[in-house]
Amino acid sequence: MKVTIWNENRHENKNPAVRSVYPEGIHGAIQQFLSKSGVDADTATLDEPEHGLSQQTLDQTDVLVWWGHIAHDEVKEEVVERVYQRVLDGMGLIVLHSGHFSKIFKKLMGTSCDLKWREADEKERLWVVDPSHPIASGIGEYIELPQEEMYGEHFDIPAPDELVFVSWFEGGEVFRSGCTYKRGKGKVFYFRPGHETYPTYHNADVQKVILNAVQWAKPAGSNKPVYGNAKPLEAIGANQN
Amino acid sequence: MKVTIWNENRHENKNPAVRSVYPEGIHGAIQQFLSKSGVDADTATLDEPEHGLSQQTLDQTDVLVWWGHIAHDEVKEEVVERVYQRVLDGMGLIVLHSGHFSKIFKKLMGTSCDLKWREADEKERLWVVDPSHPIASGIGEYIELPQEEMYGEHFDIPAPDELVFVSWFEGGEVFRSGCTYKRGKGKVFYFRPGHETYPTYHNADVQKVILNAVQWAKPAGSNKPVYGNAKPLEAIGANQN
Amino acid sequence: MKVTIWNENRHENKNPAVRSVYPEGIHGAIQQFLSKSGVDADTATLDEPEHGLSQQTLDQTDVLVWWGHIAHDEVKEEVVERVYQRVLDGMGLIVLHSGHFSKIFKKLMGTSCDLKWREADEKERLWVVDPSHPIASGIGEYIELPQEEMYGEHFDIPAPDELVFVSWFEGGEVFRSGCTYKRGKGKVFYFRPGHETYPTYHNADVQKVILNAVQWAKPAGSNKPVYGNAKPLEAIGANQN
Amino acid sequence: MKVTIWNENRHENKNPAVRSVYPEGIHGAIQQFLSKSGVDADTATLDEPEHGLSQQTLDQTDVLVWWGHIAHDEVKEEVVERVYQRVLDGMGLIVLHSGHFSKIFKKLMGTSCDLKWREADEKERLWVVDPSHPIASGIGEYIELPQEEMYGEHFDIPAPDELVFVSWFEGGEVFRSGCTYKRGKGKVFYFRPGHETYPTYHNADVQKVILNAVQWAKPAGSNKPVYGNAKPLEAIGANQN
């Protein structure tokens, strides 16, 4: 299995506070813990040619992890389309935190993906509401993050195929924080936490969830479906009574 | 449309504090606000013959509202079976609060329906997570109840067909508080609030939700399905190639 | 309630065979049976200014019915965007037959919406798989259409929120023919039958389903959600232990 | 991973025609192909003490496969209850064909699980409707069985969490043939084919689906949830405004 971690990588370059939390970038932090678990993980960033997501790279990617925030608009339509086609073809996609507003997530969801938010260093608890789900494997009753950005309902997404986590926030809100979807042959997982100023991707439980999600999202399923004009499998008219 | 509100009606008779909140019983309070909205609503209670749920009563009931708590075990199996068959036949069922542990709800869910709970006069906010749902009609972003019993995840239910409300509790928990299901031709709605010591059923938003739910749950759908040995609709063997 | 029926209206103008089946156009046929049932229904077509879907028209439309086939590409992006925003705002949308490939349906689904098809005058049976659903109200075990175009799986849509009908085709295929979705505050129903050369929209059961769907899809739900930066509802930091 | 294959094993003993198709019993046939794929699989049958399903056996079982038909009523309540608790605790359950009417399946579903049926040696095609699902891994567009018993809609089950296969039958019916559910920490898969008089479990595609299902259903997920009276995680009352 080959994972590609895509990161906008702008906050890290502009903001020393972010760089101090993620010296190798958010993509680097994720790559590190996935690699430690034996996952073959590469990175790609916005400012590389083709945003680091050439057709060849995507064709060799089983699961793509996506973090973006302030530069969603800079992602080229042709790259979005390329990623989209790969998802329909079976590539897994893990969308993190502010990636809810990325072009690719909105295109796959068919909704605005809007939400409430607040930066107030508040406590978050991600409660497991589906204890049977492999993405929650090894997690206790909840994941606690002492300080995070708040995301609150209403989150304008289609009803998830599976709801794995629901967040509680100190300031009074809740959020559907772990949501699975299928699009074509591809699996999609949205996972809420990970504001750039907090060490969320250094949290062992958050790392476990991303590792589980990557395993869950890897390509599987039936042979590639065939579309278009089809010959009948049975004689038509033979049955007319 | 004819609604029957079933109540165990034991707390009200034993506990003056509960009686002072609900002088006519929880069933009486619900009947009152439904009637004011023009809904034909009757009541039935545990200590009536057949718990007030004779075959005739159930046959004439379009939607049954259920509140029970300390006497789930006293509900006779034959009455549970009668209610169950009526749900499969199309009667709507609204299960309130501690009714999560009623025999009829557990039978329809196929799970333990267990949960966490705490009585600590804490604040609850029921956030609307499905703003398109008719059960949330006329509700703002959330319903606030200044004091309620806490119910927390994990709530051991099947993933709801639709999730309408998610509760936030002051003490740190979340809960899937408004859940729809279909069983046979019948619709089921579980709605969390309503501990007997709080004036929850006097809250205008809670009343609106129950009124909406009753409208949503009324019988509809296709003609009664036919089961068993079936004649072929098409000649079999004619198509063999 | 105000319904607008949108039709591409090209086959009717080009093909006498289609015109003989639908002398007033497919939109006219649908308008007629909805009006007879007391529904206030207007029509709009591709070749009208703004395709007949001005902002004002859409703002006054509760449910939009959509039929298109050979001219999907001619529908202007700005009109698609306008319809999309209205769906997220609560307008119902009923997509018929070849509308599966319309820009608006693909945008709302987030998938290719591709499928198999065949024109061979074959028998279709739409089996009710959710007998509790109001869209199936008054329908028997199945709807039989003596001759229709075949649509076959795999149908590349997200798993429907609710699956109401599954079609059987004489030539050996099946199809998820009645699918509900929610997007934002809006409800969407895809209904398969209705190839332009068959008198499908004159079928009483098909008419009943469309009438039911229009009732089901009308706006309901909570007040309009608020998005963006939100003040805390609770004091943050007060609970630090 | 340890799989236990449970079979009623009555047809095989009474009916030479069945015995000639399954000389080692249906359980033996399933054990054989699972073992060949490296799965540690044991069998258990109705006439063994405790139906071969002692607490110890179930505690060591990761996934239970269930085939029953004419002797559902002979399965003791206490064994049903034992299996039920193990499913809620995380044991996977694969229910085959006429197992739709088993006590354990009905208890987990909360519905009658009734359906239409016909024994007429007719052709069945199981179409993949979810090509992303690991249970469909390696399967083409459909599985064809030249002769099977027909099962037809309406199938009185809750809407499946995931619908993987839909069957087409020569005689004119369709059926939701591959359905996933979650109950507590356990995963359940219902798979339609396998009437005792046909060599269905010798079909390579059917074997692949059962092997995939066993992998999919193995225990995973979060730590065991805790239920009951819970201490607050946050100070209550501190936030009163």
C160 to chain D, any CB pair closer than 8 A? The answer is: no
Across chain D, what does the average pLDDT equal? 97
| Total domain count, chain A | 1
Full-model pTM: 0.98
Q: Is A228 exposed, middle or buried (0-12, 13-18, 19+ CB in 10 A)?
A: exposed
CA quadruple C77, C83, C86, C92: dihedral sign: negative
Inform me whether the pLDDT recorded for D70 exceeds 50: yes
What secondary structure, in 3-state letters, does chain C show? CEEEEEECCCHHHHCHHHHHHCCCHHHHHHHHHHHHCCCEEEEEECCCHHHHCCHHHHHCCCEEEEECCCCHHHCCHHHHHHHHHHHHCCCEEEEEHHHHHCHHHHHHHCCCCCCEEEEEEEEEEEEECCCCCHHHCCCCCEEEEEEEEEEECCCCCCCCCEEEEEEEECCCCEEEEEEEEEECCEEEEEECCCCCCCCHHHCHHHHHHHHHHHHHHCCCCCCCCCCEECCCCCCCCCCCC
Inside any domain, residue A161? no
On whether the CB atoms of residues D38 and D2 are closer than 8 A, the answer is no
Q: Which of A125, A166, A241 sits opposite B166 (nearest CB)?
A: A166
pLDDT in tens, A187-225: 999 999 999 999 999 999 999 999 999 999 999 999 999
Inside any domain, residue B203? yes
**Between vectors from CA D7 to CA D4 and to CA D12, what angle results, nearest 5°?**
140
B130 to chain A, any CB pair closer than 8 A? The answer is: yes
Inside any domain, residue D17? yes
Distance from CA of C206 to the nearest CA of B (A): 13
D17 to chain C, any CB pair closer than 8 A? The answer is: no
Confidence of residue A227 (pLDDT cuts 50, 70, 90): very high
> Can you give the pLDDT at residue D19?
97
Contact A141 B154 (CB under 8 A): yes
**Which residues, in sequence order, are CB contacts of B237 under 8 Å at separation 6+?**
D121, D122, D170
Contact C129 D238 (CB under 8 A): no
Of chain A residues 222-241, which have a CB less than 8 A from chain C? Answer: 225-234, 236-237, 239-240
Confidence of residue C241 (pLDDT cuts 50, 70, 90): very low
A118 to chain C, any CB pair closer than 8 A? The answer is: yes
Contact C120 A183 (CB under 8 A): no
> Can you give the pLDDT at residue D241?
45
Contact A134 D170 (CB under 8 A): no
Q: Give the mean model confidence (pLDDT) for residues C182-211.
A: 98
Residues of chain A by 3-state class (helix, strand, coil), percent to 5: 30, 30, 40
> Can you give the pLDDT at residue C16?
97
Distance from CA of A159 to the nearest CA of D (A): 13
Domain of residue D174, residue span: 2-217
Inside any domain, residue C230? no
Residue of C nearest to D240 (CA): C234
> Can you give the pLDDT at residue C238?
58
CA quadruple B69, B75, B80, B83: dihedral sign: negative
Confidence of residue A237 (pLDDT cuts 50, 70, 90): confident
Of chain C residues 186-225, which have a CB less than 8 A from chain A? Answer: 225
> If we measure between CA atoms, which residue out of C124, C94, C105, C120 comes closest to residue C203?
C124
> Can you give the pLDDT at residue A105?
98
Across chain A, what does the average pLDDT equal? 97
pLDDT in tens, C95-107: 999 999 999 999 9
Contact B154 A125 (CB under 8 A): no
Spans in chain B with pLDDT lower than 70: 238-241
> If we measure between CA atoms, which residue out of C132, C143, C171 comes closest to residue D127?
C171
Inform me whether the pLDDT recorded for C239 exceeds 70: no
Q: Give the mean model confidence (pLDDT) for residues C190-198.
A: 98
Confidence of residue A238 (pLDDT cuts 50, 70, 90): low
> Can you give the pLDDT at residue C160?
98
pLDDT in tens, C208-238: 999 999 999 999 999 999 999 999 999 998 5
C-alpha distances in Å from residue A187, one per residue of A201, C109, C114, D195: 22, 15, 18, 33
On whether the CB atoms of residues C127 and C166 are closer than 8 A, the answer is yes
Place of tokens 């902002």: C55
pLDDT in tens, C148-183: 999 999 999 999 999 999 999 999 999 999 999 999
d(CA C147, CA A41): 53
**Which residues, in sequence order, are CB contacts of C228 under 8 Å at separation 6+?**
A114, A116, A117
d(CA D82, CA D92): 13
- Identity (one letter) of the amino acid at A241? N
DSSP state of A166: E
Across chain C, what does the average pLDDT equal? 97
> Can you give the pLDDT at residue D237?
87
d(CA B153, CA D225): 9
Q: What are phi and psi of B94, to 5 degrees?
A: -110, 115
> Can you give the pLDDT at residue D104?
98
Contact C153 D235 (CB under 8 A): no
D173 to chain C, any CB pair closer than 8 A? The answer is: yes
d(CA B183, CA B163): 16
What percentage of chain D carries pLDDT values higher than 70?
A: 98
Q: Give the mean model confidence (pLDDT) for residues D148-169.
A: 98
Chain B residues in contact with C130 (beta carbon < 8 A) = 182, 221
On whether the CB atoms of residues C43 and C52 are closer than 8 A, the answer is yes
Distance from CA of D119 to the nearest CA of B (A): 9
> Can you give the pLDDT at residue B237?
87
Inform me whether the pLDDT recorded for A241 exceeds 80: no
> If we measure between CA atoms, which residue out of B214, B157, B231, B166 comes closest to residue B33?
B214
Q: Which of D110, D118, D121 sits opposite B107 (nearest CB)?
A: D110
Chain C residues in contact with A225 (beta carbon < 8 A) = 153-154, 156
> If we measure between CA atoms, which residue out of A200, D93, B107, B220 comes closest to residue C211?
B220
d(CA D15, CA D30): 19
- Identity (one letter) of the amino acid at C20? S
Inside any domain, residue B143? no
Q: What tokens appear for D182 in the block?
A: 């979650």
What percentage of chain A carries pLDDT values higher than 70?
A: 98
- Among C88, C222, C231, C240, the residue to mutate for chain B (most B Cβ within 10 A): C222
List all chains that touch chain A, counting a touch as 3 or more CB pairs closer than 8 Å. B, C, D
Inform me whether the pLDDT recorded for D238 exceeds 90: no
d(CA C67, CA C191): 11
Q: Residue C30: which CATH number?
A: 3.40.50.880
Inside any domain, residue D141? yes
> If we measure between CA atoms, which residue out of A176, D156, A225 comes closest to residue B184?
D156
Q: Is B52 left (phi over 0), alpha (psi -120 to 50) or beta?
A: left
H or E segment to which residue D178 belongs:
strand D174-183
B185 to chain C, any CB pair closer than 8 A? The answer is: yes
